[in-house]
Amino acid sequence: MESVSAGAGEAPRRTRGARAQRREAGSNPGVPYIVRNIPTYDILGEESLARIERTADRILAEVGIEFRDDAVALDHWRRAGARIDGVRVTFEPGMLKEIVSSAPRQFTQHARNPARSVEIGGNNVVFSPAYGSPFVMDLDKGRRYGTIEDFRNLVKLAQSSPWLHHSGGTICEPVDVPVNKRHLDMVYSHIKYSDRAFMGSITAEERAEDSIEMARILFGADFVDRNCVILGNVNVNSPLVWDGTMTKSLRAYARANQAAVIVPFILGGAMGPVTNAGAIAQSYAETLAGCALTQLERKGTPVIFGNFLSSMSLRSGSPTFGTPEPAIGSMVVGQLARRLGLPLRCAGNFSNAKRPDAQAMQEGVMSMLSAVHCGANFILHSAGFVDGLLAMSYEKFVIDTDFCGALHSYLAGVVVDDNTLAMDAFLEVGPGSHFLGCDHTMRNYQTAFWDSALSDNEPFEKWFEQGETDMALRANRFWKKTLAEYQAPPLDVAIDEALMDFVARRKNGMPDAWY
């Protein structure tokens, strides 16, 4: 199917009609993304930051990174002047920084509903659901492998929340669909059940290209060539190895002018040092190399500087999540990304809890707050994770999106002006009285405080009479009600048919593969 072109920065013609934005659940109607009104939390000074950068330079120059099974990537490096020894590539200090300087500091990822396009970079914050769990769980059915039905449900829950900004990618693994066909159903589901921006596959180069091709059907090929409409999240095989599967997918996104998110996955003590400064230097080196490779594939293509720090339990040897060391380490990663001038993905809402309990939110809130404090622009895992990265919980998903609502108010900061200073109220009320009905309160109360949809704020007696619920049970009721009330955003019938046709043609005759 041919697509209609649109000028750069212009809304794609095909989706112009689809502006009806679903807004529900909460006093705030939702915003397409957050423009933060508080500064980032910068914890290190110039000297310490420079030492970390110099260590990364030494890692890149003296140890290097292996680029396996991707001759084109090695060619890129050779032409750029890196030293190649087999698959090991080493870099002169400063070389990669110079290469990534062509990447934009900020870019728009377009949604099919233009009112929901997101700005990635600068002071902007985009919340996206968690990504990649093989399992799903809920209070009724417990834990089981995710299916395409779960996938659709979770896309619908995300679409229904006014506090998320992005539809995400592999919101759970639809394990009932063959691995080599899964991406087609996932991308189709994002387009069909959400009108927000989304992510495509990276598990093989042709799956990345399929994902981008479906975006071309939706937005038009010319528009896609000039604008970012899909993201691909690629992982480094830490320490210091880029696998060909990942670099080929990375290059597929870059070639199409779409943004890769470059993410080392470092469990301290296993894939990197147990000390934060070293793990940060390593991930900086690994990410920088990936970001540079996108620019060698296509100069000027958008890219996101990603990061994932984690820790380990000394008692069990298990990876741990939502712990203090990665949380505070994220602040430093943020500072380094800003010195490079690249949009940042960092941290998210992580927990090792197996239920949506106190542990889930102790760890989840600590790590999610670190993401917003460190200045992350694209927070991939904003909602749903339990059991490390292994399970998506329906209940925790809506608890987390509710918390994303709180973060909208938090990131609005403290506004200081004549209205908020309320001098008129003090003159009106005076000592020993109250502000409940004063003019200032009446003017401001509706927007003053965020109101959680899931927290219980009733007196104890009323809470007791109402069944002594905990937040997990309220969340269980909330997601069921939300799914029951879900309405799909309108999608152009011709586009829908073209997408279904593409998916059918790609699947046709393709033998099922389960890896």
Residues 73-132 that bind a second copy (CB under 8 A): 88
CA angle 306, 310, 311 (to 5 degrees): 165
**Residue 136 or 491 having the CB closest to a second copy:** 136
Nearest-angstrom CA–CA distance, 369 and 433:
37
**Residue 225 or 325 having the CB closest to a second copy:** 325
Hey, which residues between 47 and 76 contact a second copy (CB under 8 A)?
48, 51-52, 55, 58-59, 62-66
**What is the Cα gyration radius of the chain?**
23
CB-CB contact of 192 with 488 (8 Å): yes
Stretch that binds a second copy, among 37-45, 179-187, 227-235, 480-488 (CB under 8 A): 37-45
Q: What is the dihedral of CA 492, 496, 497, 502, to 10 degrees?
A: 140
**Which of 152, 373, 381, 506 contacts a second copy by CB under 8 A?**
373
User: x/- string (CB under 8 A) for a second copy, residues 391-410?
Assistant: x----x--x---x--xx-xx
Closest CB 61 distance from a second copy, rounded Å: 11
Query: Which residues, 6 or more positions from 468, have their beta carbon under 8 angstroms from its beta carbon?
Result: none
Name the β-bridge partners of 143.
Answer: 137
Q: Is the dihedral of CA 145, 149, 152, 156 positive or negative?
A: negative
**Residue 92 or 497 having the CB closest to a second copy:** 92
Residue type at 364 in one-letter notation: G
Closest CB 448 distance from a second copy, rounded Å: 4
**Which of 122, 244, 341, 435 contacts a second copy by CB under 8 A?**
435
Nearest-angstrom CA–CA distance, 508 and 515:
18
Query: Which residues, 6 or more positions from 452, have their beta carbon under 8 angstroms from its beta carbon?
Result: 402, 405, 406
Closest CB 194 distance from a second copy, rounded Å: 26
Hey, which residues between 471 and 490 contact a second copy (CB under 8 A)?
471-472, 475
Residue spans of alpha helices (H) in 227-264? 244-255
Closest CB 454 distance from a second copy, rounded Å: 7
The order of strands in the sheet holding 34-35 is: 34-35, 124-127, 378-379
Hey, which residues between 297 and 326 contact a second copy (CB under 8 A)?
311-316, 318-320, 323-325
Q: Is 440 in the site for a second copy (CB under 8 A)?
A: yes
Hey, which residues between 246 and 285 contact a second copy (CB under 8 A)?
268-278, 280-282
Hey, which residues between 137 and 196 contact a second copy (CB under 8 A)?
143
Hey, which residues between 344 and 363 contact a second copy (CB under 8 A)?
352-363
- Total residues in contact with a second copy, by rule CB under 8 A: 129
CB-CB contact of 388 with 138 (8 Å): no
Query: Which residues, 6 or more positions from 461, have their beta carbon under 8 angstroms from its beta carbon?
Result: none
Closest CB 440 distance from a second copy, rounded Å: 6
**Residue 35 or 445 having the CB closest to a second copy:** 445
Token pair belonging to 116: 């929901």
Stretch that binds a second copy, among 33-41, 102-110, 175-183, 223-231 (CB under 8 A): 33-41
**Which of 80, 84, 221, 241 contacts a second copy by CB under 8 A?**
241
**Residue 109 or 320 having the CB closest to a second copy:** 320
Name the β-bridge partners of 119.
Answer: 108
Nearest-angstrom CA–CA distance, 487 and 160:
9
**Which of 35, 144, 455, 494 contacts a second copy by CB under 8 A?**
455
**Residue 185 or 387 having the CB closest to a second copy:** 387
CB-CB contact of 274 with 309 (8 Å): no
Number of residues that this document lists for the chain: 515
Closest CB 237 distance from a second copy, rounded Å: 7
